[in-house]
Structure 1
Amino acid sequence: MPDDQIVSSRRLLVPVKGIPLPDHIAEGFDAVSAFCPHPSDVLISSYPKSGTTWTQEIVDLLLHNGDAERCRRASIIKRHPFLEVSSHLFKESGLALLKEMDPPRVIKTHLPFQLVPDGFWENKCKTIYVARNAKDTVVSYHYFHQMNQTSPAPGPWEGYIQKFMRGQLGYGSWYDHVKGYWEEREKKNILYVFYEDMKENPRREVERLMKYLDLSLSDDVISRIVELTAFMTMKENPMVNYTFLPKTVFDQSISSFMRKGDVGDWKNHFTPEQSAEFDEDYKKKMKQVHIPFRTQL
């Protein structure tokens, strides 16, 4: 049995300050909330299925000068602890892994802005937020919920879209999540990255991340990082594709953790009626803010 996991069965969602979180995360949330990072720590945040793992791997390669072997030193969950995850899901909780590591550390979270421990802002930690358009996110999240045996069963697609629009999925409302970080990005020095921009011009976005991290790498190293983080390359990399978890956690015979990685795949899933209803709802929820999402390239 791989040492990265222990269990599992479908879990329930429990509200924490109004945000539905997996029960095993909600149970230990006080300890997560009290976590105090080092000022040199880097936080990578996103709503689930928005390009988190992709961004993590780019950052790891940037920090290790494009050394592919160095970035295969351990699975992604051990290199970049998942802040809020509990030992009910993996052998060690995110907090336990962080205690074993010396700063600077790269830390992953899916928490909405208001649930991120205050220490990240008090210590002025660098924070990278990666956001993906709502339609592709809901499609990817639906597939993820089918294969993730530790999450609530997603149910049929037509009902799942309604849950997404109502914010009734794990980590709550996508709309509030992306708006929360967007509205705080300047005050908190958050680098806001769009999945669609990464797909359109990966080199440009890798260079943006490099500059934000105060690094300076050669053009050759940047080119290598772009190649190493291409979708199909990562899909075959056992340190990032989550095949290190057993079927009792992620059953990838149902759907791959890294499924397609496309922009615009939503067109293969939404009916015209569903798309129209979703667009109308989107306009209402996003009318107070202009975040330049793109649903196709």
Structure 2
Amino acid sequence: MPFKTIIAIIQSAEDTDRVLDCAIPLAARFEGHVIGVHAEPLPVAYASTIGFPDTEFLQATADMNKERSKKLEGLFRGRLEAAGQSFEWRGLESFSGDSALSGISSARCADLVVAAQRNPDADSDTSTDIDTLLYDAGRPVLVVPHAGPSLSSYNRILIAWNGSREAARAAFDALPFIIEAEQVEILVIDPPEDLEADADAGGAEIATALARHGANVAVAMEESDGRAVDDVIQDRVGAIGADLLVMGAYSHSWLRELLFGGITRTVLQSMPVATFMSR
């Protein structure tokens, strides 16, 4: 299924170009429509020295937020109009001011969401809660890395496979990319001892299914040998020169991920290539 409706999460000027460098060529290739989503925080009422709401502060904050939103809208419209691409802009307000959180309802009616990976060196105000977007939107999210090239087509794709529902969802959601790629590798970490009895977890069946769509697929198996799974995935990305990682998000419960960390959160923070995730 082509990506006809693409949500571009625009949190700050810093990530606008990176997100649009990916979203605009995608929309052009699939004859799609780009929806830019940006949220500003609602002004918080502070009490003045005499105990009443500081209306001057509220007004100044509202004006600053409005100006920032207007600037980002101008950047977005300029890029889309120059590309001759179908688009719309959704400027929102919320208590958090988080464009990913505010964009969840829009994302649920889209084919794909494009968002920028958190930049560890950026202000916290410019980061978005991609974790919650992934968990609640029910739609695939393409996370653009905070450094390196922002690509929209991918030659070598690595699929992290564990036989889970989430991994299956991600693999088939990513089909438009997979069938275009020169090489697709299914990576199975710590494969089951009896591959014939557990073909799903072993990667054979998903490889065959994707090959029927015309994908050039191979299966690779690696033992973790005490390494963290996310480290194994990242090493394999580098080893094969992958430019896109496809994986399921939150294969374990979200509570477990929050308490003990997990692959999803690590990938969102540090993966050096674009990552396509579904849940």
When normalised by structure 1's length, the TM-score is: 0.31
Which structure is higher in strand share? 2
Q: Which has the higher contact order (CA 8 A, sep 6+)?
A: 1
- Larger Rg, first or second structure (1 or 2): 2
